Structure 1
Amino acid sequence: MSKPVSDACLDQIFRDARTHNAWLDRDVPDALLHEFVDLAELGPTSANSSPARFLFVKSREAKERLKPFLSEGNRDKTMAAPVCAIIGYDLDFYEHLPKLFPHTDARSWFAGKDAKILDTAFRNGTLQGAYLIIAARALGLDCGPMSGFDQKGVDREFFAGMNIKSNFLCNLGYGDASVLFPRSPRFAFDETARIL
């Protein structure tokens, strides 16, 4: 862990990576979905809580179920994407802490503490969603993360009877770079960061 990764890796994951809105007609194998979830789950979370839940909407039937809950600007690109991941967070994550954090009674830190449960699940589930994007890019996929959907509708349709809430969506596949807009500006270091 003492050496930086290559510039080519940094280019693929960050510098040259873009948010895609148009997709090539190319399948994303299920085995690849398994591979990058396994990578994403290695990223750190509070007490190894791992509250993120990933639902990959891939079949035509599943996409039709998702379609009514997408905003108009996200509908066509999501229906055209090979896969749309629903990144959610499990409000019952703490029930798994005896397995995931076995050296102490971490479950007791959360049981009956609704505000702490929500805060921890949302924060760490969001982190895991970012890890998922990085892992997907590292394995050669393009990503199109987005908001712009009816969260309550998605939760009713896909997470009924579960204590899971949707956070954001991310289209996955092989992007059509020919229709990308120029990269939008980013802040300079001094505009967002300080060293004390």
Structure 2
Amino acid sequence: MTKQFHDNVLSDDALDQLFHEARSYNGWLDKPVSDEQIRAIYELMKMGPTSANMQPARIVWAKSAEAKQKLSDLASEGNKTKIETAPVVAIIGYDIDFHEHLPWLFPHTDAKSWFEGDEAGREQGAFRNSSLQGAYLMFAARALGLDCGPMSGFDNAAVDKAFFADQPRVRSNFICGIGYGDASTIFDRSPRPDFDRFNTIA
């Protein structure tokens, strides 16, 4: 299917792994995710584009039983088991004061001055771009042979206090279980719309 395009297009097997056959898992096989795998996910994730290379995502990787239990206690009932049984759960947050790092992250110009004095604008930009980074995280994990289970359904303020207390300008966005998905815990894929339903080429 992809051979009609440029020679550099990923193979159909790779596209299946990232998109066509990938699923959001509700349960996990009893198989660990290593610290080396976590670091490899981040090394890929950070290469995805963000506005002015702001890189606002701040991530806590809840891997220990204690950390996962603490997170589970702050989640909705339907997410508790998903959190407790995942090998690791990434808590994707965003730094409202990301602009303090722009002098080294985006040294081409004085980008820090673009955001000074505009906290509402910074929060909007940080939320948007950390959402992008959370998506990059999921595709990085899939590219490395892992599965994902993204979730909302938790007390954001409580999670901020519990996991980002040392970074008081960080706010949680969403969480994502990472591991080896148990296919018995998912249902048939929900419908995906055809191009013409929600798209216009102008």
**C-alpha contact (below 8 Å) 2:71/2:83 kept by paired residues:** no
1:134 maps to which of 128, 131, 139 = 139
Q: Distance in 2 between matches of 1:17 and 1:29?
A: 21
**1:157 maps to which residue?**
162
- Classify the secondary structure of the residue corresponding to 1:69: coil
Q: After superposition, what is the alpha-carbon deviation per residue over 1:9-41, rounded to whole angstroms, capped at 9, x for unaligned? A: 100000000000010000001000000111010
Cα-Cα RMSD? 1.1
Task: State which of 156, 169, 176 in structure 1 corresponds to 2:175.
Answer: 169
CA-CA distance at 1:178 after TM superposition? 2.6
- Cα distance per residue 1:36-74 (max 9 Å; x no partner): 111010000000000011110000111121121110000
Aligned length: 196
1:39: which partner in 2? Answer: 44
After TM superposition, the structure 1 = structure 2 runs for residues 68-83 of structure 1, keeping only pairs within 5 Å, are: 68-83=73-88
Q: Which residue of 2 aligns with 1:65?
A: 70
**Shift in Å at residue 2 of structure 1?**
6.2
Alpha-carbon separation, structure 2, partners of 1:16 and 1:39:
21
Distance in 2, Cα, partners of 1:126 & 1:63 = 22
Deviates more, 1:8-17 or 1:184-193: 184-193
* Alignment pair present for 1:184 and 2:185: no
TM-score (ref. length: structure 2): 0.94
**Residues 57 and 130, structure 2, Cα contact 8 Å, conserved in 1:** yes
**SS of the residue aligned with 2:124?**
helix
- Structure 1 residue runs of 5 or longer lacking an equivalent are none
In the superposition, the TM-score normalised over structure 1's length comes to: 0.97
Q: SS of the residue aligned with 1:170?
A: strand
Structure 2 counterparts to residues 42-53 of structure 1, below 5 A: 42-53=47-58
Closer, same or farther in 2 for the Cα pair 1:2/1:100, shift >3 Å? Answer: farther
Q: What one-letter code is carried by the residue in structure 1 that aligns with 2:165?
A: A
Cα distance in 2 between the residues matched to 1:54 and 1:191? 36
Secondary structure of the residue that 1:166 maps to in structure 2?
Answer: strand
Query: Which of 20, 26, 29 is 2:25 aligned to?
Result: 20
Large movers: runs of 4+ above 4 Å:
none
The Cα shift of 1:161 comes to 4.0
The whole-number CA distance in structure 1 between the counterparts of 2:14 and 2:146 is 13
Question: What SS is found at the alignment partner of 1:195?
Answer: coil
Residues 72 and 79, structure 2, Cα contact 8 Å, conserved in 1: no
C-alpha distance in 1 between matches for 2:24 and 2:166: 33
Segments of structure 2 that go 5 or more residues without pairing to the other structure are 1-5
Q: Could you tell me which of 79, 82, 86 is aligned with 2:91?
A: 86
